[in-house]
Chains A and B, each alone.
Chain A
Amino acid sequence: MTRFCRSAAACVLAIVASLAFSPLQAQQDKSPDAALARLLQAARATLPGACAQPAADRLIGILCAGRIRIGVRDYYPLFSTRVGEAREGYEVDVARAIGRQLGVAVEFDRVNAATRIPLLAEDRIDLVIATMGHNTQRDGQARFIRPHYYQSETTVIGPRALAVSGWQDIPGRTVCVTVGNGSNAELVARDARLMLFDEAGVLPERLKDETCTLAAQDDSFFAESFTDPAFAERYAQKFGFAQVPWGMAVARDGSAQLARALDLISQIFHRDGVFLELGRAHRIGTGFLEQQQAVWQRPECNTEAGAANDVCVLPPFNAELMATPFAGSVATFEAWFESWTGIELSLPMLATAPAWSMFKDGVANSLVLIVGALLATLGFALLFGAAQGSRSALLRWPVRLLTVTLQSSPIVLTLVIAAAIARALFPFSDAVALGASIAALGLTNGSNAGQAIAEAMLTLRAERTRPAGRLDLFTRALSRSATQIVAFLVNAAKGTPIASFIGAPELLSALTDITSFSSGRATTYTLLLIFYTAVVMIVVWLCGRLRLLLERRQAVPS
């Protein structure tokens, strides 16, 4: 019996030992839960001695203090809002869940887009959970927690009745956006026209008052608007693009253990559906969270090394634009100019390759547009002048009617009509937009100049001079109406920037696009004003020479 008992005990021990060292047990040991428990246990084991060490990891500091300082936003509906001392939202609840997991209290600190990373670096907060997109630029400023706790995308919102379903419907349309939004570059590349606003907060109102037909902004921003039944009934998400993962972040220095603990907590929260439940509770979009739960339940991701596995984690959004070869010199010049004058100069069109390319194209297209508008004005002036000065009523009256129509149409409307007809005839392209603009500017100004030529012909006939022929009469009428012709030529050149309204890729359009994803609006638009004023002054000078030439012809007796 005793022998049997000894054998049984040995068997049990053997079974326990085999279980303890079995592959299954080894798998459990490598779970994120076990890794987190070991990490926290090891950190707590150093207390209280490590609390006095200045170089201790921030995790030690948090455990010593019994609280974690978390930076959150004060007003980002559904994600983090504050009314008095009460905070609520998805991010606030994520912060509280992290505090519970670490076994410490949570102290909230207010942050905004500008302060969230500096406050981490200054050790005034331990963790930031504040709608921060994880991109390659920010990777150098803070240590982002992987996996990401949310993902937003830029969503295009518009009236339900509007037939827009994807990029194919975007070229030539105006989209309201906020300045500095990284996704603006994508809209620009897809031939959208941008209307810029400083704050996203105005976009729902601008949609409602129909200032904007389409608006593009983070889907997390519009999430609150769609909780309003009236808004949801009238507007819909047309499509989304530029997905950006949101990351919690800690300081890059002295936070290795804290970051590791948070990586593991984030893994566990995804796997167990903690993030998903909190997302549902706050009525935010949960598609990403559902997809991430499935990812982190997979065996290859549900390990202590999952956060470092590229198959499981998402890469940061690549927001870096390629610099121009002379970007360094531009930065040096900007710094020198500021130190010399005290004026902050920013030349975004010279700093990055896409901006530089758009700038060059904008200048070239502007010059093409100006030359085209001048030639079209002159051409239409001659045609309208000849027709209106004709003795044939069949020719004269239709052209007169067309002239009155063009005079009665504001130039913006004429451009829109020209663009609508051009788009019905040809697929949208930069060349079509430029062509339509040239035709509209030429018709508007040419019809007026043509009227002046016709009036000059009438006066010449009334003076009963006897020109050698019709051509001579017409030539003398040109001379007599030289001032008017020149005035409308100058007007055509001045009017070219308005072509940006229908998507012509001239300089104003290009610079608006550039400033939508970079800084330096004041400098950019000042340079634009100088460019166009200088070009128009050159046109004025050239037209002055043309007028002298025409008037000299009049002075020569026939």
Chain B
Amino acid sequence: MRPLIDRLSSDFLPLFLGGMAVNFEIAVIAIAVGLALGLLLALARLAGGVMAGAAASAIGLMRAAPTFVVMFFLLNAVPRDATLFGEPFALSGIMTVALSLVPYSAAYIADSGVEALRQYRGGSLPGALLFLPNVTRAFFVLVMSSSAGAAIGVTEGITIILRQAEQLPTLGDRLVLFAIGIVLFGIPLQAGFAVMGFIQRRFGRIVARRTEVMKAADIKIE
């Protein structure tokens, strides 16, 4: 029996890494658009009045919109000959997936942004800076979610794995290949979470040090 490694096509790894790059590309687009939209919504929510109500409703709707359905909506409901400001607006597969993730990322960033702005206005810079690890967490969630692109033919990491799995004859081989995929996806994800944890611990220490300094100052004043 030939080992699995022999049965994998020779270009599997470069193709998979290329596919993963697409996952990251989608996540970058989604987080960038989400940041722009989410921060605007966060500002609107804190502005009060009608704007705050409208922003809260928009955030609620975006939070509830399932990514996979939004993706199929964009794919099928946007006409191929659609224009935006007079320019052609035909969405590529990558853009379709990225935009389908925007409701999630914008809603998440709006929520985190509101909290960060409240912390900042309350005088807690470290509390406000927790916004950064939150954005990092959202980014990695987006990387994982971008695998939904496999359903519409976007050549991302999971697509490459599934194509390779089609060529394998036994369930055992396919499960091993899937495990390889999980490890390859898991490495950047767990590394990202580790970095995020490190940043949070650093913030924790900064907050603790500041608190101690402030306490010491209070004691001196007393």
A contact set with B: CB distance below 8 Å: 161-162, 195-196, 198, 206, 209-213, 404-405, 407-413, 416-417, 420-421, 424, 494-498, 500-501, 508, 512, 515, 521-522, 524-526, 528-529, 532-533, 536-537, 540
Contacts and interface: CB of A to CB of B under 8 A. Distances in A.
Given A411-B148, A412-B151, A540-B63, 13 more contacts: A195-B152, A196-B76, A209-B155, A405-B186, A420-B178, A497-B66, A498-B148, A500-B151, A501-B151, A508-B69, A515-B76, A525-B76, A540-B64
Contacts of B68: 495, 497-498, 500, 508
Given A195-B153, A420-B174, A522-B76, A411 B144 contact: yes
A513 to B, nearest CB: 12
Interface in B183-222: 183, 185-186, 189-190
Interface string B159-197: 101110111000100110010011101100110000000
Contacts of B167: 161
A417 B157 CA distance: 15
Contacts of B189: 407-408
A92 B75 CA distance: 37
Nearest to B65: A533
Contacts of A420: 171, 174-175, 178
Given A408-B183, A521-B77, A529-B73, A212 B153 contact: yes
Contacts of B105: none
B66 A525 contact: no
Given A213-B163, A424-B171, A410 B185 contact: yes
Query: What class of interface size applies to chain B in its complex with A?
Result: 35 or more
B185 A409 contact: yes
Q: Which of B60, B64, B151, B165 has the most CB of A within 10 A?
A: B64
6 contacts: A211-B155, A408-B189, A408-B190, A413-B147, A501-B151, A524-B76
B181 A413 contact: yes
Contact of A512 (B72, B153, B159, B166): B72
Contact of A528 (B60, B72, B151): B72
Nearest to A534: B64
Contacts of A515: 76
Q: Which of A161, A404, A405, A413 has the most C-beta atoms of chain B within 10 angstroms of its own C-beta?
A: A413
B200 to A, nearest CB: 14
A411 B145 contact: yes
B93 to A, nearest CB: 9
A514 to B, nearest CB: 12
Contacts of A500: 68, 151
Contacts of A528: 69, 72-73
A533 B79 CA distance: 22
Contact of A508 (B72, B155, B165, B175): B72
Given A408-B186, A420-B171, A497-B69, A413 B158 contact: yes
B69 A412 contact: no
A210 B190 CA distance: 30
A161 B166 CA distance: 10
Nearest to B164: A210
A159 to B, nearest CB: 8
Given A211-B155, A413-B178, A522-B76, A533 B66 contact: yes
Interface centre among A404, A495, A529 (most CB of B within 10 A): A529
B138 to A, nearest CB: 13
A540 B59 CA distance: 13
B70 interface: yes
Given A413-B181, A521-B77, A495 B174 contact: no
Given A195-B153, A413-B158, A526 B77 contact: yes
A525 B64 contact: no
A524 B183 CA distance: 38
A420 B183 CA distance: 19
B76 A521 contact: yes
A533 B66 CA distance: 7
A253 B165 CA distance: 57
Nearest to A539: B64
Given A198-B80, A411-B144, A495-B66, A404 B190 contact: yes
A103 to B, nearest CB: 46
B64 A533 contact: yes
B150 interface: yes
B61 interface: yes
B142 to A, nearest CB: 11
B67 interface: yes
Given A210-B163, A525-B73, A528-B69, A408 B145 contact: no
B171 A416 contact: no
Given A407-B189, A420-B175, A498-B148, A537 B60 contact: yes
Given A404-B190, A529-B73, A533-B61, A411 B66 contact: no
B166 A213 contact: yes
A495 B185 CA distance: 19
Given A412-B147, A413-B161, A162 B166 contact: yes
B97 to A, nearest CB: 11
Interface string B60-102: 1101111111101101110110000000000000000000000
A496 B158 contact: no
Nearest to A417: B178
Contacts of A408: 182-183, 185-186, 189-190
Contact of A501 (B67, B150, B165, B166): B150
A279 to B, nearest CB: 34
Contacts of A525: 69, 72-73, 75-77
B110 to A, nearest CB: 16
